[in-house]
């Protein structure tokens, strides 16, 4: 039976502008398209797992504004348990202005808003429900002390964890994250966390192993269009990329992590879960938007028929 998944993390409202190019300083350009949708790394990962049928709960905070109301409705519509989604009075919800160019590449700003008020007490308040979960996902769009507290809570209760260290911080304490089951950075985040170069495959492996030497069990490095790499103390396994024509890469990393959590919670096979997650993320970039690009079980099965 699949383990229940909890996400202790962020939510945002994505404000997406599609453009031909970024304006230079002082320049005004007309952009052809604007869309608004629900996002945030935590909510995205929860949404991806839920779309694939996982039993998901979320611990997060929203502002007392229309964005917050919409975020809660959106999570509930996806079947995500929102019992522990709190509302912070007098504060805005988190927002993420996103700029997508013609090639599908993106630049993103985030304003944490109410996400900054997700505190360790909120984890303690959700403790009894969290103890019913087999896997907890975290990201770095909430206070770092909340992340540390959640890792310690999960370790004390025998719950596996995934930490996506994004946005990365060079001062992330390796001692306080060493109990995570899976650390999932991209190359930029890996370079910052390890203070080592990652311009070649050998450098990437060495950087990942430097984190493993500090006590982290497993590092999964996401490589964008080059797939992913699983690194442990004695193993390196490359996960091949899935070739597609991208329309919008926004949220692809969250699609990968959220779907990996779902597949791993379902059968416990890390490598097979990563292969499936690579397919799921590839499917997401063939469509525009973030959460709306995440496939249902039926849509994903159809994609896999043509890309297996």
Specify the DSSP element, H or E, that contains 261. Answer: helix 252-267
The C-alpha atoms of residue 176 and residue 257 are separated, in whole angstroms, by: 21
What would you report as the CA-atom Rg of the chain, rounded to the nearest whole angstrom? 18
292 is in an annotated binding site: no
Question: Would you call 254 a catalytic residue per the annotation?
Answer: yes
Cβ–Cβ under 8 Å, residues 168 and 186: no
13 is in an annotated binding site: yes
CA 126 to chain centre: 21
Cβ–Cβ under 8 Å, residues 57 and 133: yes
- Enumerate the β-bridge partners of residue 85: 60
276 is in an annotated binding site: no
238 is in an annotated binding site: no
Active-site entry in 65, 81, 122, 254: 254
Cβ–Cβ under 8 Å, residues 300 and 52: yes
Task: Give the DSSP letter of residue 118.
Answer: -
22 is in an annotated binding site: no
248 is in an annotated binding site: yes
CA 297 to chain centre: 19
225 is in an annotated binding site: yes
- Enumerate the β-bridge partners of residue 107: 99
181 is in an annotated binding site: no
284 is in an annotated binding site: yes
94 is in an annotated binding site: no
- Residues at the binding site for ATP are 186, 222-227, 253-254
Q: Which residues are catalytic?
A: 254
Binding residues for substrate: 12-14, 40-44, 141, 254
Binding residues for K(+): 248, 250, 284, 287, 289, 293
Return binding residues: 12-14, 40-44, 141, 186, 222-227, 248, 250, 253-254, 284, 287, 289, 293
């Amino acid at each position: 039976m699949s383990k229940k998944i909890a996400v202790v993390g962020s939510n945002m409202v994505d404000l997406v502008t599609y453009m031909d190019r970024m304006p230079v300083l002082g320049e005004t350009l007309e952009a052809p398209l604007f869309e608004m949708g629900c996002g945030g790394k935590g909510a995205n990962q929860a949404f991806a797992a839920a779309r694939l049928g996982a039993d998901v709960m979320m611990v997060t905070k929203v502002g007392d504004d229309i964005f917050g109301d919409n975020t809660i409705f959106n999570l509930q519509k996806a079947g995500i348990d929102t019992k522990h989604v709190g509302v912070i009075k007098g504060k805005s919800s988190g927002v993420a202005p996103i700029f997508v160019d013609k090639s599908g590449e993106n630049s993103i700003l985030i304003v944490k808003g109410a996400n900054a008020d997700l505190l360790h007490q909120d984890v303690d308040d959700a403790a009894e429900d969290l103890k019913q979960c087999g896997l907890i996902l975290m990201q770095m769009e909430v206070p770092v002390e909340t992340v540390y507290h959640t890792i310690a809570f999960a370790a004390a209760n025998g719950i596996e964890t995934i930490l996506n260290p994004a946005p990365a911080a060079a001062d992330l304490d390796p001692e306080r994250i060493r109990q995570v089951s899976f650390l999932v950075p991209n190359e930029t985040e890996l370079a910052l966390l390890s203070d080592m170069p990652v311009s070649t495959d050998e450098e990437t492996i060495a950087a990942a192993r430097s984190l493993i030497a500090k006590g982290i069990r497993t590092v999964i490095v996401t490589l964008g269009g080059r797939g992913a790499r699983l690194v442990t103390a004695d193993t390196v396994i490359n996960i091949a990329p899935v070739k597609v024509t991208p329309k919008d890469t926004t949220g692809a990393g969250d699609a990968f992590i959220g779907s990996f959590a779902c597949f791993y919670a379902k059968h416990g096979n890390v490598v097979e879960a990563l292969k499936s997650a690579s397919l799921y993320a590839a499917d997401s970039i063939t469509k525009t938007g973030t959460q709306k690009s995440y496939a249902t079980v039926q849509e994903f099965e159809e994609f896999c028929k043509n890309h297996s």
